[in-house]
Structure 1
């Protein structure tokens, strides 16, 4: 993808920068300072990656207008709560990823990390998605 971004830099300058900077393994996490910027990021990254036959899916945004051009099947589903708030779907993988991000050289939050890992074990034991 980095090679594709370099090859298509002139046609998709914003998309190329986003691809080089905001991909982590196979996930793209980026943001814009306004709705128009987020829409432009969406257009350019999708357009650039389409040149290499890559298709981005599981799009998510805190503003629904950003996703208007994205088909429903390519959007990430949200969990709705009784208070009206919503979040993206949590998975064991995303929870494990969050736990793995902790770096506590002084072992100050060790008990919290341990409780998180125990909770993760419970999810595996219960075979919950």
Structure 2
């Protein structure tokens, strides 16, 4: 049914309106941390997070709804829930939980980290159409794979410069370049991105550090968080990155570096507002 996502979202809005006085914490989650019919929420400690979980359950049950398919990195947050509602999700190793995604990105509760599942590309004859299709499947909204995806973007630009038809066989040099790229792609499955940035109640300060750079082929920007705890421990985590290929028309390196800096000045406010 094409309108089912609309109904799911509309029900959430009505839930918030009807129960926000009785369950203010849960109502806030339903209002701002819901994607269609999925809830994504966390907390700084187990006690407050369990209280929020119970609040969510009560809010949903007030309208005859039942929250199911619970996943958590803590077994305590699953304790007390019906077995059929979570199925010991925390104990599932990454290889067996490949179907669980958070907004399109694989998340493994057992190690509390994000992973990438990259399928091998099998193309006996590489064309511009098949390469564009394969590259579009490299879903990486946060730019964690930016050093890899930018290589694919540059290759696509080369194909456009060649003015090849969509189904025309690639020249031998570009075909070899694509083959080399594809043979290394499965290695991305070994990459693990920790979900937690080490920001908690004992955090003394949070710093946002951004870097930008450019070459004749591309330019990029990346943002890291630097968390300093009260005990003096420091944790640096990659948050987000953006890349763009250089324009076809030749542009000087200093000019491209200014574009990279502009990209960074737009990325940092987005990160700050999100945090």
TM-score normalised according to structure 2 size: 0.34
Alpha-carbon RMSD across the aligned residues, in angstroms, is 3.2
Paired position in structure 2 for 1:79: 92
Cα 1:103–1:42, aligned 2, differ >3 Å: closer, same or farther? Answer: closer
**C-alpha separation in 2, matches of 1:69 and 1:58:** 14
TM-score relative to the length of structure 1: 0.67
2:101 aligned with 1:94, yes or no? yes
Q: Quick check: 1:5–1:17 contact (8 Å CA) kept in 2?
A: yes
Greater percentage in strand: 2
Q: State the 1:110 CA deviation.
A: 4.0
The question of whether the paired residues in 2 share the 8 Å contact of 1:18 and 1:41 is answered with no
1:87 is displaced (CA, Å) by: 8.2
**Gaps (5+ residues) in structure 1?**
81-85, 120-129
- CA–CA distance in 2 between the matches of 1:96 and 1:13? 25
The structure with the greater share of residues assigned to helix is: 1
Greater relative contact order, per chain length (Cα 8 Å cut-off, separation 6+): 1
Bigger-Rg structure (1/2): 2
Shift of 1:28: 0.7
Alignment of 1:42-81 (within 5 A): 42-76=53-87, 77=89, 78-80=91-93
Structure 2 residue runs of 5 or longer lacking an equivalent are 1-11, 106-137, 154-180, 187-275
Say how many residue pairs are matched: 109
